[in-house]
Amino acid sequence: MSISVREFGESALLVEIGDRIDESIVSRCRAIADAWEAAGHGAAIPAYASVVLRFDPLRLDPREAEREAFGLSQRAIAIATVPARTIEIPTRYDGPDLEATARSSGLSVDELVAAHAGREYRVFFLGFLPGFAYCGMLDPRIVAPRLERPRERVLAGAVAVADGQTAVYPFDSPGGWRLIGHTELVMFDPARQEPALLRAGDRIRFVRL
Amino acid sequence: MIRIISAALRATVQDRGRFGQLRAGVPPSGPADPFAFAAANALVGNDPDAAAIEIVGSPFTFRCDDRRVIAVTGRDVALRLRDRIAGWTAVFARAGEEVRIVAGERSRFGYLAVSGGITTDTVLGSRATYLPARLGRALQAGDALPIGAMRVDPTRAGRTLVAPEYQDEQVRAITGPHAERFTEEALAVFLSSTFQVDASSDRMATRLGGPDVVARQGEILTCGVLAGAVQVPSGGAPIVLLADHQATGGYPVIATIITADLGRVAQRLPGEPLRFVRVARDRAVAALRDERRAFAAIA
């Protein structure tokens, strides 16, 4: 698989591996991020098919950082670094976009709910907001493009779908995903030992209430 | 203790940033103007990791229980104790002496460092305040914050650092990492135009108006981002990410502001112009090295 390493300012690099959503690529990105952080160079942010690697250019020459990033990306193989957990998310399917999403998918509301709740998803990575986990993949029958006009305010706990993925909003925030339900679970709590409820690599399941 | 008498429009404790929780989706936060923040710490003899106070608006007034060396930095800021003292200068404040930070018309983010540093409890490994997730909170009149042991003597007072040219509308950027998502024409528009800072700009981003910069494809597969990244949403109006940016983003990044110039972007006021000039990475690293040298010279 082709690996590219690009400059991201003078204090970071962007490693890209392909350009599609694929579970094995996601976990390989995670392995690259782990290896970079373990080497003590700085923080890393893995996503679908890319990893941002931060470093201090006054300590590590950027060209040296590039060589290291490239070598480490070639060596990194997709292994689960933490045992996968399965987390259940009790969900009331009562979101404002539920009916419209069912309609655009050519499903009844019950069929849509069954399709969403009847599947195990993988947590790809966290981003956007503290504790916001990008999870997938949705049943391909669910057609849910992002809203053209994002809502100014989505409530914390909203269960949402967009472009083959699903997530729970951890905070009240603006948002462009389609809202199909809500959960009472607290997705992010700084007082917890591990503040984010979900971590990359977890398996999750929505349980209809 | 430092006792806050008046807390301006918004004042928050910040350290360099919370970089250990990016993978949980937590923005780094930290100072909007990292250079001014680092300079304030350097002036009073603190470690770069020490926490200071970021101040927006006025009036901000405080006193310390014991004598301290203090400094205020940022754009268009000064101190008033016995006399008015210019910003970017280490000052000796007597125990219990009331100090006011004077924010001028062009002030946006000010930084107050106190020798010993602010030593409030860390949250998730950092003292950086991130208000949307309630990591820390805005300071209020009557707050008393612990400060560390003072390690420098009062003879430090009078040392100065040179403020950046905050009036200068041109900032340096390294193109990419998604430059190929833009046509040569779009890149040329980006590098030759004058943009205006939008009133919606905040600690999350400096949002710009001006000519549209159109990407070949509106969205990318979501990827990690950092402060200084210039995102171009499908509307074409560039956004420069700042301290409170989301850990990941879905818009192509046409260029990245060099770290040395990031604070000058954050300090631009609504309506002020901003232009980008392309530099090579070596120049960006050299600029950081110059910063470090300036701090070492007053250590």
Which residues, including other chains, have CB under 8 Å from residue B282's CB and lie 6 or more apart? Answer: none
Question: What pTM did the predictor assign?
Answer: 0.94
Residues A71 and A92 placed together within one structural domain of the fold: no
Total domains, chain B: 2
Q: Do B285 and A58 touch (CB under 8 A)?
A: yes
Residue ending a domain, among B132, B156, B180, is: B156
Is B163 contained in some domain?
A: no
- Tell me what pLDDT residue B218 has: 64
Specify if A81 maps to a domain. no
CA distances from A16 to A5, B35, B192 (A): 7, 30, 29
Residue B72 has pLDDT above 80, yes or no: yes
Residues of B in contact with A9 (CB under 8 A): 174, 226, 228-229, 256-259, 284
Q: What is the pLDDT of residue B152?
A: 63
Q: What is the mean pLDDT of residues B251-258?
A: 96
Among A75, A107, A123, identify where a domain stops: A75
- Identify whether residues A58 and A116 lie together within a single domain: no
pLDDT, tens digit (0-9, with 9 covering 90-100), for B199-234: 999 999 999 999 999 888 767 889 999 999 999 988
**A141 and A97 fall within a common domain:** yes
The verdict on A184 and A148 lying in the same domain is yes
The model's pLDDT over B134-152, given as tens digits with 9 standing for 90+, comes to 999 999 999 999 999 876 6
Are A104 and A198 within one domain?
yes
A7 in contact with chain B, both atoms CB, cutoff 8 A: yes
Q: Which residues pair with B215 in a beta bridge?
A: B182
Q: Which residues from chain A sit within 8 angstroms of residue B124, using beta carbons?
A: 190, 195
Question: What was the pLDDT predicted at A149?
Answer: 80
Range of the domain at B32: 2-156
Q: Do A130 and B26 touch (CB under 8 A)?
A: yes
pLDDT in tens, chain A (209 residues): 789 999 999 999 999 998 888 888 999 999 999 999 999 999 999 999 999 999 999 999 999 999 999 999 998 876 655 667 999 999 999 999 999 999 999 999 999 999 999 999 999 999 999 999 999 999 999 999 888 788 989 999 999 999 899 999 999 988 889 999 999 999 999 999 899 999 999 999 999 99
Q: Which of B216, B152, B254, B134 is nearest to A172 (CA)?
A: B134
| CA quadruple A50, A54, A59, A61: dihedral sign | positive
How much is the pLDDT for A2? 86
Which CATH number characterizes residue B217's domain? 2.40.100.10
Confidence at residue A148, expressed as pLDDT on a 0 to 100 scale:
79
- How many domains does chain A divide into? 2
Nearest to B112 by CA among B70, B157, B150: B70
Residue ranges making up the domain that contains A116: 86-208
For residue B151, what pLDDT is reported? 65
Do B148 and B245 lie in one domain? The reply is: no
A40: left (phi over 0), alpha (psi -120 to 50) or beta: left
Same domain for B105 and B35: yes
Of B1, B56, B7, B8, the residue nearest B31 (C-alpha) = B56
> Is-contact B268 B195, C-beta < 8 A?
no
Are B24 and A188 in contact (CB < 8 Å)?
A: yes
A34: domain CATH number is 3.30.1360.40
Other C-beta atoms within 10 Å of B157: how many?
18
Pair A97, A168 in one domain:
yes
